[in-house]
């Protein structure tokens, strides 16, 4: 039995989708929902007067400011890989130091950034960009304890995508823990309440024009190839029992229509710490991943899930 659904990322993020899937499963089992979703967009109202730090102009852009798309970009394809827990722990160890232990997602992001730089033999591509999806709920929850349940169960989109730019030659020369420092630095830009309040105000001041994250727009040749890493490790696979047992596999599929690469990490249904990793990249990037790190990335198959 296979269950699937589609959702519009402009209206909801993966956190919201997870709430929906769990509620759907509980309803199918005739159980009461433990956490009711909040549909109060007023919790994300802009400030009066709205204001923001100018750094947000480097992260977001009105769609009216976009140049015409290039017809020479390589097409992107989707593949899935299985990553063992021991590989994740090894990567995390190499990305950390005695003084600073990096998270698994941050370590994995740094590993991918360096791996693709190491395998880049295109002399015309000297730079690369890396973005990380950040959920703003927990930063907004800290401000007002009374509103915490509203933020925690808010159904909508509360994401930001900070990104950094680095020379591929520089990434090649760095040990992994230094690349991890770079990733930590770019993520730190979006890990506070002011960033998300400023983003809400930025959107308000640019209405009614729609906007897009700059890194989503993948035709900035001067800044090289780009990719975004998102954490789907909160995918509640074991809570999605629709009445015939817990799933043996669960995944997001995000062919997001951009020339920017996209990677999503998800837990294996085995619950043993292994990951399922969805990737939306071009053929050259897949070649690098499969030829330079076959011990880390195993193409997903039924045998890897058993």
pLDDT in tens, 208-243: 998 889 998 765 566 778 999 999 878 888 888 888
- pLDDT over threshold 80, residue 14: yes
Task: Identify the helix (H) or strand (E) that includes residue 133.
Answer: none
Burial of residue 84 (CB within 10 Å: 0-12, 13-18, 19+) is: middle
- pLDDT over threshold 60, residue 71: no
Q: Tell me what percent of the residues of the chain surpass a pLDDT of 70.
A: 92
pLDDT in tens, 244-274: 888 888 888 877 778 899 999 999 988 889 9
Closest CA to 77 of 275, 253, 266: 253
Closest CA to 234 of 147, 168, 135, 88: 135
pLDDT in tens, 181-206: 999 999 999 999 999 999 999 999 99
pLDDT in tens, 33-69: 777 888 888 888 899 999 999 999 999 999 888 776 6
- In the chain, what is the straight-line distance between the N-terminal and C-terminal CA atoms, in Å? 17
pTM of the predicted structure, to 2 decimals: 0.90
CATH of 14-64+76-305, one of 3.30.559.10, 3.40.1360.10, 3.10.450.50, 3.40.50.300: 3.30.559.10
Q: pLDDT grade, residue 70 (50/70/90)?
A: low
The one-character DSSP state at 154 is: B
DSSP code per residue over 33-45: PSSPPB--GGGGP
The SS3 call for residue 129 is: strand
């Amino acid at each position: 039995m296979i269950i699937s659904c589609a959702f519009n990322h402009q209206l909801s993020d993966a956190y919201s989708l997870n709430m929906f899937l769990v509620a759907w499963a509980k309803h199918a089992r005739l159980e009461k929902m433990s956490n009711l979703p909040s549909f109060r967009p007023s919790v994300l109202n802009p400030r009066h007067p709205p204001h923001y730090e100018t750094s947000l102009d480097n992260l977001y852009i009105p769609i009216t400011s976009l140049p015409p798309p290039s017809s020479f970009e390589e097409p992107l394809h989707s593949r899935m890989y299985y990553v063992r827990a021991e590989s994740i722990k090894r990567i995390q160890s190499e990305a950390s130091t005695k003084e600073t232990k990096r998270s698994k997602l941050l370590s994995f992001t740094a590993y991918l950034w360096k791996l693709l730089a190491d395998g880049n033999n295109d002399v015309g591509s000297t730079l690369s960009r890396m973005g990380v999806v950040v959920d703003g709920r927990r930063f907004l929850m800290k401000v007002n304890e009374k509103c915490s349940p509203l933020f925690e169960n808010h159904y909508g989109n509360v994401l930001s995508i900070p990104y950094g730019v680095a020379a591929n030659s520089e990434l090649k020369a760095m040990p992994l823990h230094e690349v991890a420092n770079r990733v930590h630095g770019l993520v730190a830009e979006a890990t506070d309440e002011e960033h998300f309040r400023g983003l809400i105000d930025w959107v308000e001041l640019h209405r009614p024009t729609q906007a897009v994250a700059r890194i989503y727009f993948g035709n900035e040749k001067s800044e090289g190839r780009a990719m975004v890493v998102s954490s789907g490790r909160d995918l509640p696979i074991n809570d999605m029992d629709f009445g015939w047992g817990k799933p043996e596999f669960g995944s997001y599929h995000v062919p997001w229509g951009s020339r920017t690469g996209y990677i999503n990490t998800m837990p294996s249904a085995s619950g043993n710490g292994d990951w399922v990793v969805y990737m939306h990249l071009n053929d050259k990037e897949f070649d690098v991943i499969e030829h330079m790190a076959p011990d880390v990335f195993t193409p997903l198959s039924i045998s890897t899930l058993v």
